[in-house]
Structure 1
Amino acid sequence: MQVIENKENFSGSRLCVSATGAAFMDGFVLTSQGFIFLLAQSVFQFSALELGLVATAYVLGSFIGSMGFGKIADVYGRAVLFRTVPWFVAALSIAQFVNFSPLSWFISRFLFGLAIGGDSPIAQAMLSENSPKSLRAKRLVLLMTAWFIGAIAAAVCAYMTVKAGLPWEFFAAIPCVIGLILGVARFNAPESVQWLKSKGRIKQAEESRLRLGIEAEEAKHEVKAAHQAALFKPINLKNLAYLSVFWICQAIPVTVLLMFGPVLIGALGTSNFDTDVGQLVLTDSFFLIGSLAAIKIVPHFARRPVILWTFGIMAVSLALLSPGQVLTNFVVCLLLSIYALSYGVQSVLDYVYPAELFPTSIRSTALGILGSVSRVGVFVVTLGFPMAFEGLGVSSVLLIGAAISMFGFVISWLFAPEPSHH
């Protein structure tokens, strides 16, 4: 393979690790938020309203970051933001300890969300556009797998922090280490081959291709340039509308498990820190197992059947959980695990599906819009769950989640597209 002078090669494995790090960091930071407030209750002493606002700050930042950074990356390129965001996260992880007021922590959580939410569509586009066609689906599946590993890592690190008697600041500073590792891994990353080609910068695209070790034939799969206006073509608008509903129907129920897991699980029959963390780790593990299973399932099955089966199973699982404390701990564990397993399989399509439906010129923008739309659902849940839980109870909340999943099933039955190669 030819070597470009004065520029180190950037292997496909390194690209895969550095891109999936975005999902790992998102999963870790989002899940760790609840544990930080749990471990540092005496420090913060926030009112219920203040706690709710601080909790939604990350989601609000993610909404703006996904939309804004995706657009910037489509116009100006992926590489610069891809290289710099991890260093910003590392610095922010230290700066958050300057002040513990509600306003200070709202700002820090917002900036975390802005950076990490913006990094996600860029990392996804980088991995999609610079992977051989034969490996693209498998690599994109790893993005969701990495998210669940990050969520599990947050719960395990919180548990170890408590058991080791370490200060809560130790746990809250872990994203600094993640950011530094990612910053080093992404150092000198080349620009996306397909983005350069879409802009007519063929010579630079060839340099990036050689540095990434992509075969010339593989780099031809999207050579046709297109304009940002392509987003408004009827077929792309239709796909964008469907995927927006698809992501929201995914995001709302699962957010309750990921962000309010200890409260929900406690209402279903457990009531101590060790048991709650254990159940959360088990549930997150089944999310992970489902996403790993999808590595084998997604490349070999059409998209529509996978979406329909998983939405249906998730709806039934949540509905069967609704009796609450009437159920035995084993049944609760079983139903949560079935839900998590199904969600894990379906969730990898969040990365694979858009890459198959949108062209290079609008992919990052489309991913940013979709990420922002899903975060609207998360934002609503973050604000609304405490009030719904207090006013309606756990049974009604679970039935609402089941209804949302069933709505996703119906919409998918009617409108889910099947990529042409399937």
Structure 2
Amino acid sequence: NLITLDNTGVTNASGSTGSGTTASNNYTIDTQRPTATITVANPNLAIGQTSLVTFAFSERVTNFDLSDISVGNGSLSGLSSSDSGLTWTATLTPDANITAANNFIVLDSGRIDDLAGNAGTTVALSSNYSIDNQRPTANISIANPNLATGQTSLVTFAFSEPVNNFTLADVSVANGTLSNLASSDGGATWTATLTPTANVTDPSNFIVLDSSTVTDRAGNAGTGIALSPNYAITTTSLTGDPQFRIDAPAPLVNTRNLPLQPALFGLPTGNLGSPLSFSPLFEQRTTGGGLPPVGNIFITNRALAPSFIAQVFDSSSVGGPGSGFTGFNSGEGSVFGSSTLSTLFSRESATDSSTTGALNSAGSNDLRDSSQSIQAGFGALTLGQQLQQITDNEQEKLSALAWALGEVGVSEVQA
């Protein structure tokens, strides 16, 4: 700036008029305050990313440093100028583990002077930038955790933020398949249909998501895997009569008071020798055997002992005196004695001389049966005779047997 004098307008004392102009020395004027514009090169910062920030002032400034700046969710470093203070640059580094869509850099211009010493009076605000320094995570839920034949279940993938690149190829399904993957809210929540595999019974199954194949809007990939809760699958086809699968089981019947029925015994086991040469029922038993010697059965202090029902099978050999079991003294066809229980069975069948005669010594010789090779017996009826009576008289003889056993104190349950 100059001050100029027009000398023609000036006269001296003698009245002479000047000529030309006269200029002052130069001087400067700065009456404007400095302003700044802030630009963020990368407005969308993800994990591991930084951005160049430029501060463009209206004029050269002094006293500018990082303390004059406030940074949203980040920090600046490397502040410098390459044009004598007119333009400055710095590096923006976002904070870790931050997801924020709206962030700004703020410059307090009142702390900056231009070369004339004029301080700014306004606040400089950068353009907006977003920060996403978090990796996406997912939560998997299964609507129906117990899948049977013909059933499906809705599966929901709820991400911590909207994601890209999510497909069924990112998911592993145990004993099943997923279909119809879709999102209705921009990628934050996805749903699919789980269909179990047929003919499978497995109580432990999971859906696994590989998070590393999924990225958020900022490009951050997930890490690790996401695991669903357990779900059970029972799709094995049932076999057998459907009647037995759908009907409830019949209740147990109280058998304590049922009518006496013939007992059914299984086949004897072990080495029995000849089927016609079983050991005598009343042989001497070892300790704990349960049956007393035959001498204690019929004679106790010269009195009759309680009666026993028994039958004795003789040897298949019939030649010679005393062969097999024919009594307790010599002689063929003899009977040691009669059972006192014999009269009980003759209550209603005394007229049947062919069978009741076997209960006394006189009729013992009539018991010979070549089909069974039975030569002699004592006590109650033989097995063949009892079966014959049951066949001939059926319920009548069953009633007689029940009555007889009741008289001697043997209950139906014991029988």
TM range (shorter): under 0.3
The structure with more radius of gyration: 2
Which one has the bigger helix percentage?
A: 1
Higher relative contact order at CA 8 Å, sep ≥6: structure 1 or structure 2?
1
Output the TM-score relative to the length of structure 2. 0.15
Output the TM-score relative to the length of structure 1. 0.15
